[in-house]
Each structure stands twice: as structure tokens, then as C-alpha cells.
Amino acid sequence: MDDSQPTRLSRPLAIGAVIIALLLGLLVGGALDVGKRLFGGPDPETVATSALQSMRAQNRLVPFVARYVSVVSSRQERFGGLVSSERTLVLPGDVRYELDLAKLRPEDVKWDGGASTLTVTLPEIEIAGPEVDLAAAREYGEGGVLSAVTDANQTLDRNNRARAVADLRKQAGGSVPMRLAREAGRQAVERSFALPLQAAGFDRARVVARYRTEGTDVTVPLDHSRSYNEVLGEAAGRR
């Protein structure tokens, strides 16, 4: 018996199946197009509003984290410098750069249909921390008569820790890390709005995020750092 006959019979069936699939695809596509014309699809403003609500629900965004190291020294002298004590502290700490997304308002998100551009106005970056790493801290110092007969070492250590925390905050507010943090925050927000727009079919939509303080004299970041005692107390609790 010739076994080539089933092959000859299957080809017309396969071609017919392809034609039927194409016809069904055209019918379904046409139905969807008609439905979109009749009932309308999602508009950019609706997509942007949904994205805004989702971001506000996140509360705080941390687009950038940096680690700094402070090296400070304190010296105490008495009796005209006849006796002295000196201590040096090396203290690392992590600082978070945050965006308070709850501060985003509906008027901060504007759609320009002519330019297909969504403009988002951001609150200023906030500095949180530092979270000092006491386990990695190192303290060095001289002995001497003053350390032996007084609490000079303890006094110098307390002074060094307060100065180190202040120095970590100062480093965190520098122009370079602030520029990096602001750019990271800008890119994160732009992606958060661009992805839903692209998913909704607005492939040509562009998202531009900028800070409320851009173009003004305000360059100092908001400082949400805690007090010296709070910082050290929290670090000691993690040990």
C-alpha cells in the first residue's frame, strides 16, 4: 500500500487550517478595532493617573544609597600642654537618598498631547541617615598621664563620634552624590511612568521628570537625619 497518500491528503488540510486561522485573526482584529472605535481605549491621562496612584502607594522611593567614611581626631591638653591625650576615630556609615512619593500631586503630572510628552514634577531628594556601622569603627589614641588620671579618652571618643556623624552628613550633601542621587531618582520615576504608557500602546510617549527646585537658588537637600544620640543608639541596637 502506498504510504504517500496520507501526506498528500494532509497538505490541503494544513493549508485550509492556515486560511481559517488567518480569517479568524482578521475577524478578531477587526472586532477589536471596531470595539476600540465604539468604546474608546485607554487614554494617556488615565494611564498616567493610575501610575501616579501606584507610585504614591509606594510611599518612599530609595533610588540611591552611598557609603561614606569619616576620619576625625580630637586632642585634649591640660596644664599648658604638659599633659595631653589624643584620640582618632574612623567611622563608616550608609546614607539613603529618598523621594517622598506621597508628595506627588495630580497637578505634578501633565500630559502634552501635541508633543506626546508626560511631564512629572518631583519633590526634592531627601537625605536619610547616616546609619553608622559601629562594628567597623576603629578608634586609635595615645595613652599618657592625662588618660590615666582622668576620663579624657571617654570625653574625646564622645566628641569624635559626634563630629564623625556630622561629617558623614556633610559628605552626603556634597554636590557629586546629590547629582548622582537626583539623576537616579529622575530615571526611576521616568521608567515608572513610561512602562505603563508603553504597555497601553503609547510607544512614542516620552516622560520627562524634573525637580521642583530646578532653575531656582535652592540647592540644599532636605535633611531628615536623626540626632547624634539616635544614630548611635540605633547602631548599637543592631550589634
100 in the same domain as 19: no
User: Is residue 17 located within the same domain as residue 129?
Assistant: no
* Among candidate residues 192, 112, 56, the one with its CA nearest the CA of residue 184: 192
> Both 31 and 87 in a single domain?
no
Give 16-72 pLDDT, tens digit per residue: 554 454 444 444 444 434 444 444 567 899 999 999 998 888 889 999 999 999 999
Do 201 and 105 share a structural domain? yes
pTM: 0.68
Whether 75 and 20 share a structural domain: no
pLDDT digits (tens, 9 = 90+) for 148-175: 445 567 788 888 899 999 999 999 999 9
Among 38-42, 83-87, 104-108, 140-144, the least confident range: 38-42
Residue type, 222: L
The total number of structural domains in the chain stands at 2
For residues 34 and 46, membership in a common domain is answered with: no
Same domain, 124 and 179: yes
143, 210: one domain: yes
Specify whether 226 is located in the same domain as 194: yes
Residue 32 shares a structural domain with residue 53: no
104 with 36, same domain: the answer is no
- Say if strands 60-78 and 109-112 run parallel, antiparallel, or are unpaired: unpaired
3 shares its domain with 49: no
Structural domain for 23, as ranges? 1-41
Q: Is 79 exposed, middle or buried (0-12, 13-18, 19+ CB in 10 A)?
A: exposed
pLDDT at 151: 57
